[in-house]
């Protein structure tokens, strides 16, 4: 892989001691909140056409996971005009989807590469291609049930143009603030630190059982134990013991299901604000002081499921007068935004 000298990004030697420590810090140790109970659920049934649709849309890979299998090799095997081979592949993927494939500790390993820009290291995990294929197929099958449960609180999971919807909504509120249509309005963005690796698996399990119970077979099979992250075929650099596995196509849906109950509860607790998320980017829109109260409540509730709010990266956009009696209010940030707005208006 070519290193980018233009933007200062470098490939990291994961076997160096300082890099091992840094990468390991991104993967919290398991806790009792990560223990998953296996539940009875119906098997997921899919057709040869379903699998064909998923295989045909696999993109060309730049690198493989721990095994030498690739998207191109799977597509080549599937293209062979042999009904027995197709039936064999269909049964193999079905075992993964329904959590019955043996030796899962081998299949669930991921290759790890990492890049460094400045002092920040970004690890990237690449799972086995067969696991990713099965997870992608399952995510497509389960998406309608997931969206029905998430409702309008989550724009990241399977919502076409979700990012654009959020941008236009925030822009409309910003214009209302700048145009003096409602000076009490505010937009509060909440940053969750290392969210995908930190969310507790038990809360994901509960969300899956409520939204789409048959999804739980695959989740329990692939997440009830820690999986290895490899710097090479023989060296374990870290273990994925909490949160969702990076590179798992179902991972974003699992994360959204894990925080869904908290977001639904917040919507009931604070009916005067709108809470809209794009995966782990949480946005609270409404009267500024109500937004701050909602943020404090959310921070407390998120902490229960392993998520921490990064106050230094969370931002409040408002011209309203902030109530200083609110614990942890954003008075200094509000002043910062006012200065930015004044510069912008001139």
Report the pLDDT value the prediction gives residue 121, as an integer from 0 to 100: 87
Whether the model clears a pTM of 0.85, i.e. scores above it, the answer is yes
One-letter-per-residue 3-state SS of the chain? CCCECCCCEEECCCCCHHHHHHHHHCCCCCCHHHCCCCCCCCCCCCCHHHHHHHHHCCCCCCCCCCCCCCHHHHHHHHHCCCHHHHHHHHHHHHHHHCCCCCCHHHHCCEEEEEEEECCEEEEEEEECHHHHHHHHHHHHHHHHHHHHHHHHHECCCCCCCHHHHHHHHHHHHHHHHHCCCCCCEEEEEEEEECHHHHCCHHHHHHHHHHHCHHHHHHHHHHHCCCEEEEEECCEEEEEECCCCCCCCCCHHHHHHHHHHHHHHHHHHHCCCCEEEEECCEEEEEEEHHHHHHHHHHHHHHHHHCCCEECCCCCEEEECCCCCCCCCCCCHHHHHHHHHHHHHHHC
Going by DSSP bridges, is the β-strand pair 9-11/110-117 parallel, antiparallel, or unpaired?
A: antiparallel
Dmax (CA) of the chain: 72
Task: Evaluate whether 10 touches 121 at the Cβ level (below 8 Å).
Answer: no
User: Tokens 């925030």 label which residue?
Assistant: 170
Distance CA 150, CA 196 (A): 17
Report how far Cα 41 is from the mean position of its chain's Cα atoms. 24
Distance CA 218, CA 212 (A): 12
User: Tokens 């799972």 label which residue?
Assistant: 127
Residues in the chain: 346
User: Tokens 């909602």 label which residue?
Assistant: 294
Report the pLDDT value the prediction gives residue 327, as an integer from 0 to 100: 60
Task: Evaluate whether 217 touches 98 at the Cβ level (below 8 Å).
Answer: yes
pLDDT in tens, the chain (346 residues): 444 445 677 888 998 888 888 898 999 988 888 989 888 899 999 999 999 999 999 998 767 789 889 999 999 999 999 999 999 999 999 999 999 999 999 999 999 999 887 788 889 999 999 999 999 999 999 999 999 999 989 999 889 899 999 999 999 998 888 887 788 899 999 999 999 999 999 999 999 999 999 999 999 999 999 999 999 888 999 999 999 998 899 999 999 999 999 999 999 999 999 999 999 999 999 999 999 999 999 999 999 999 999 888 888 888 888 877 666 554 444 444 443 333 333 2
Residues with Cβ within 8 Å of residue 338, at least 6 apart in sequence: 319
Distance CA 65, CA 227 (A): 14
Query: Hey, which residues does 21 pair with through a beta bridge?
Result: none
Distance CA 252, CA 279 (A): 7
Task: Evaluate whether 46 touches 141 at the Cβ level (below 8 Å).
Answer: yes
Task: Evaluate whether 240 touches 27 at the Cβ level (below 8 Å).
Answer: yes
The angle at the Cα of 280, spanning 275 to 285, to the nearest 5 degrees, equals 20
Report the pLDDT value the prediction gives residue 7, as an integer from 0 to 100: 65
Report the pLDDT value the prediction gives residue 333, as an integer from 0 to 100: 45
């Amino acid at each position: 892989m070519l290193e980018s000298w233009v933007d200062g990004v470098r490939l990291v030697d994961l076997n160096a001691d300082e890099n091992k420590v840094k990468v390991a810090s991104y993967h919290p140790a398991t806790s009792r909140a990560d223990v998953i109970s296996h539940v009875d659920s119906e098997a997921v049934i899919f057709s040869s056409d379903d699998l064909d649709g998923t295989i045909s849309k696999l993109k060309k890979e730049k690198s493989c996971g721990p095994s030498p299998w690739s998207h191109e090799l799977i597509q080549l095997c599937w293209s062979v005009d042999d009904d027995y081979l197709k039936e064999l592949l269909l049964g193999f993927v079905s075992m993964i989807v329904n959590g019955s494939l043996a030796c899962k500790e081998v299949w669930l390993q991921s290759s790890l590469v990492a890049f460094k820009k400045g002092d920040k290291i970004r690890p990237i995990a690449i799972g086995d291609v067969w696991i990713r294929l099965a997870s992608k197929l399952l995510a497509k099958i389960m998406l309608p049930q997931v969206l029905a449960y998430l409702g309008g609180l989550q724009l990241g999971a399977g919502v076409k143009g979700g990012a654009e919807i959020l941008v236009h909504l925030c822009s409309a509120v910003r214009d209302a603030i700048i145009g003096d249509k409602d000076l009490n309005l505010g937009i509060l963005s909440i940053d969750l630190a290392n969210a995908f690796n930190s969310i507790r698996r038990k809360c994901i399990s509960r969300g899956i059982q409520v939204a789409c119970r048959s999804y739980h077979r695959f989740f329990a099979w692939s997440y009830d134990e820690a999986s290895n992250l490899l710097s090479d075929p023989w060296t374990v650099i870290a273990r994925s013991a909490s949160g969702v596995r990076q590179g798992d196509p179902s991972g974003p849906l699992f994360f959204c299901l894990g925080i869904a109950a908290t977001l639904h509860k917040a919507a009931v607790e604070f009916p005067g604000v709108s809470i809209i998320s794009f995966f782990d980017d949480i946005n609270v829109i409404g009267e500024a002081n109500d937004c701050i109260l909602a943020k404090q409540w959310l921070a407390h509730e998120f902490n229960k499921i392993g998520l921490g709010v990064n106050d230094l990266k969370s931002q409040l956009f408002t011209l309203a007068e902030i109530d200083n009696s609110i614990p942890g209010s954003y008075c200094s940030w509000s002043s910062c935004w006012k200065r930015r707005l004044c510069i912008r208006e001139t």
